[in-house]
Structure formats: C-alpha cells, structure tokens
Amino acid sequence: MTAAARPESALRLTVRDLQKAYGHTQALAGVTLDITGGEFLGVAGPNGAGKSTLVRMISGEEEPDSGEMVLNGAPWSPARSEARVPVVHQEAMLFPDLTVAENLLVGGRGNGLARRPVPGPAHYDILRSLGITHDADRELGECSLVVRQLTEIARALAHATDAQIFLFDEPNSALTEEESAELFARMRALSDAGNIVILVSHRLNELAHVADRVIVVRDGRVGADLTGEALTEERLAREMVMGEAVQAPGSVSRRPGTGILQDGSALTVRAWRHSGGSFEVEELAVRAREIVAVVGVEGSGGREFVRSLAGLEEATGETSLPRRPPQPTSYLPADRGESLFGDFDVGRSLVARLGRGRIAGAGGLLKRRTMARLGERYMQEFRVRAASVAQPIGDLSGGNQQKVAIASALAERPDVLLLEEPTRGVDVGSKVEIYRILRTFTEHGGSVVAYCTEIPEVFELADRAVVMARGRVTGELNVTDHGDIGSLAEAVAQKSGGAASALERPGGVDASRGRA
C-alpha cells in the first residue's frame, strides 16, 4: 500500500527520543521515528547498534529510561496497553515442554500457563499454512530449529485478530528461501490491512526488496531513513558503515588453495551411517588447515552429519583423528543460546569450556584471577565489543555473542571445530570478523567443518564445499575455482540435483514493496 493510498484515519505510532542504557552501554541514545499504518518498515544497522533494543521497547518487553511513544495522538505504553504487540524473535522465545500447537496460545487472552492451553481448528490452520502440521502435537523441545522458528511466527499470526503492530526481529534466519518468501507475503498482507509491520534484518537485499522504508540505526540513533529510489542494497551497505573501513561482500581475505595444502587429514570418516537413516557417507577426509562447508537444505542430512561428528547424533562406521583427547574436536550449534549461559558475564562465558586444570586449583576451587586474565585476553583477541568482562552476556549484540561462543570453543584448543550456521543472524561487519577468526584458526593448523545453508557464506568462508542431498554426498567443489557467488550457486545446484534451489542465494527475494 502506498503512502498516498493510506486513509487519513490510518494508525500512527510516534517514537520520541527513546533512550535505554544497560550499565555503561548506551543501547538507545535518542531514537525518534514516525510509523504509519499500512507501512512495511525495515530496520537495519550493525550489531550492537540498538535494533533489537528498539524492538523490545515497542513490544513492551522492556521500558525505556526516557522518551515517549504516542499512538494515534495519545501517550502510549505497550507494557500497560491492552492492545497486544506480537513479536517474532530471532531466537524463538517459546516453551519447549508444550507442543507446537499449544505454544500458539501462549500469551493470548485468558491463556496463562496456570492450566494447559487447548488449541483449536484456527491454530491448526495456521500451522498447516506454514507446513508444520505434522509437528503440531510434538513437544517443541524435540523439534528442529526451523520448526521452532516457524512456531514463533505462527504464534504471532495467531494473535493477529486484535493486534495492530507486528514486530519481526530476524524472523527468517533459520528459513529457506521459499519459506522466507511466504513469510514476507504474510507480512505484506498484514501491512496492506492497515497494520504497522516492522522487520529487523541484517540481510540488506531482503530489506531493499520487501520494505516500503528502511531506517538505519547506528550508535543508538536513526542514522538514515531511506525510501523510494534511495532504497537500494548498495545505499544501505554504505549507510551501515558510514565510511568505516569494512570489507565488502566477496572481499574477505581468503588465501586461495589454503585447504589444498598437503598437511594430512585432520578428520576422516568411512562408511559413516546415521542410526536414524538421515545420511550415509561412504568416505570423507577433512585436511588440516582447511575449512569445509557441508552444504544442503533441511532434510539433506547435512546438519545431522555435522552433529554426528560431534557425537550428538548416533552413527556407526569409522572415524579417525590424528590426535586423541583431551580435545580433538569442539562443537557449536546453530542456536547460540544453546552454547551460552544466559546468567554468565562475558568473562565467565569466554572461559566456560576450559578444563579444570586451566581455571581451577588442585582442590577444585576456581582461580578467579586466572579466569579474569584469560577473559580479558580472549575479549581482546576475538574483538568482542563489551564494556568489560563483567558485562552480562545477554547485554551484548547477537554478533558479539556469537564471537564469544566461537572464542570459548576455540579456547579448548581443538584440532577440528564443528559448527552449524556460523554467522546466523549476524550483520556484515561481524561476519567479516567471524570469518577472520575461523581463517586464523586454520592458518595455525586447525580445521573447520561447518554446516551451511547460505551460498554467500560458503563462498566467503570455505575452501571446499561438500554438497549433500537426500542423505548422500552428491558432489564436492573447490570454492576457490569460482569467481563469484552466482557461479558457485549454480555449481551447487547441479551437484545436488536441484535441491539447492531452496538454499539462500543472492537476489533470491521476489516480493513487491507495493509502491506505485
């Protein structure tokens, strides 16, 4: 819906000089913004800029230190208003002991957790539209990351009958291209119905294609407000960094052929079969100083294969590592919330994986000075942006939390780092830093095996791509043989027999902003 087509009585939300601090960190430093009903607003910005904090203020999950919000001309507080503001977070904020269908009722009127909620036909219709009815009666804790994300989205849609403002904070970080397109179509329908829809995303190409307007948040303030012809991916990227020396996509420092060095195999598997039937890998060797991307859509067996190497999925066959414990491998899941302790500070999070011999004395007592010294060292080495090692881990941006998770895994001094979706939900600047961290690890002799669903990430990060489809390795590619992302994407699609069409590729969003 264009601005000209919106009725005069359209919904209007005004945000005036919102400020919010967490200790010494100023998350919002005076955000002022006008949003009109029928508008699809995008929010971009570097990690730590204040995007998610702004979402929490508008949703009522937290209250600002100062400033005000005005809805339709009257002072408004979402925390004290009967009008709900459903929000879809990047990390699903649901209840693992309830079923998928039951989670749709959490937060609805008259559906507290005092008694178990009972979903109705309308809830199952929403699940059916998102393609997860087969999981409706499973406990959420037993479901995959994708199903959890879709459940979070379904809950927001279930509350759409009396909501006027909808917030989406990196909602499709675990979704395929087709699932993302369907989500954006639903978001567009909500805005066309006169509601306010706000999408926070680090994927600039998506924002440029689907939003009517995009604001860029920098250092807790609105640094740019783009619409019309000014709203392009290139302009958004420039506004994100504002002259900072940040490498553009495709320019990550990668030494061609690094993974082809004949330094021997760091990890070899033979006749490796998943006990649940998700994959069968006859033979695969990962070289020292190599980054291998296991590429495949959900259901390809790729994610289960990487998890099996960490011992988290049951498999049979032969594996070999040149070095034995204490720590031949270290693993990080896609959901960094599973890697970090929410009540830890930054320092303790950085050293949480270290063995007792490094951070505890003979009697088992923790060496607090040693922990603090190591925390400071890792914080500097991995460029974690925090006020101090004493800052709560939950106060950091997503990108900095991911750097802490990776740093804690590498502090174990593994031979092989296993991880899923290394930069899920991370902005372009943090991606560059994370790729540097992983590349430095391999240059010192380590190896990385990463499950990836984003072709741009494979191009930027990996030396070699192992393509999986329908539980089998269907091909391998030397990434450095491809000069651009499009070439690599086509090669992956060919190797996977077309299954790669659901992988995230550049320019894959095909959604109208609805402008005249």
What residues does 369 pair with on adjacent strands?
A: none
Position 247 pLDDT exceeds 60: no
Distance, in Å, from the CA atom of 336 to the CA atom of 401, rounded to the nearest integer, reads: 8
* Coil/strand/helix, residue 288: coil
Position 1 pLDDT exceeds 60: no
* pLDDT number for residue 27: 85
> Do 294 and 321 belong together in one domain?
yes
Distance, in Å, from the CA atom of 76 to the CA atom of 69, rounded to the nearest integer, reads: 5
Instruction: Tell me whether residue 146 is in a domain.
Output: yes
Instruction: Tell me whether residue 38 is in a domain.
Output: yes
Find the mean pLDDT for residues 47-52.
78
> Do 158 and 25 belong together in one domain?
yes
Q: Which H, E and C letters describe 170-208, residue by residue?
A: CCCCCCCHHHHHHHHHHHHHHHHCCCEEEEECCCHHHHH
> Do 223 and 197 belong together in one domain?
yes
Per-residue pLDDT reduced to its tens digit, 434-452: 999 999 999 988 999 999 8
> Do 236 and 271 belong together in one domain?
no
Per-residue pLDDT reduced to its tens digit, 279-293: 999 999 999 999 999
* pLDDT number for residue 508: 45
Pairing verdict, β 329-332 and 416-420:
parallel
> Do 351 and 254 belong together in one domain?
no
Instruction: Indicate the pTM of the whole model.
Output: 0.57
Per-residue confidence at 499, pLDDT binned at 50, 70, 90?
very low
Residue predicted with more confidence, 185 or 212: 212
* pLDDT number for residue 47: 66
Indicate the number of domains in the chain: 3
CATH number at residue 310: 3.40.50.300
> Do 43 and 126 belong together in one domain?
yes
Question: For 140, which DSSP code?
Answer: G
Amino acid at 230: A
* pLDDT number for residue 113: 46
> Do 9 and 85 belong together in one domain?
yes
Amino acid at 384: V
Q: Which domain holds residue 194?
A: 3-244
Per-residue pLDDT reduced to its tens digit, 383-418: 888 888 888 888 888 888 889 889 888 888 888 999
> Do 183 and 76 belong together in one domain?
yes
Q: Which H, E and C letters describe 341-357, residue by residue?
A: CCCCEHHHHHHCCCCHH
> Do 84 and 166 belong together in one domain?
yes
* pLDDT number for residue 104: 87
Instruction: Tell me whether residue 52 is in a domain.
Output: yes
Per-residue confidence at 163, pLDDT binned at 50, 70, 90?
confident
What residues does 418 pair with on adjacent strands?
A: 331, 449
> Do 350 and 316 belong together in one domain?
no
Average pLDDT, the chain: 80
Residue keyed to tokens 């009257």: 74
Per-residue confidence at 356, pLDDT binned at 50, 70, 90?
low
* Coil/strand/helix, residue 315: strand
Distance, in Å, from the CA atom of 25 to the CA atom of 20, rounded to the nearest integer, reads: 9
The phi and psi torsions of 465 (rounded to 5 degrees) equal: -110, 125
> Do 439 and 467 belong together in one domain?
yes
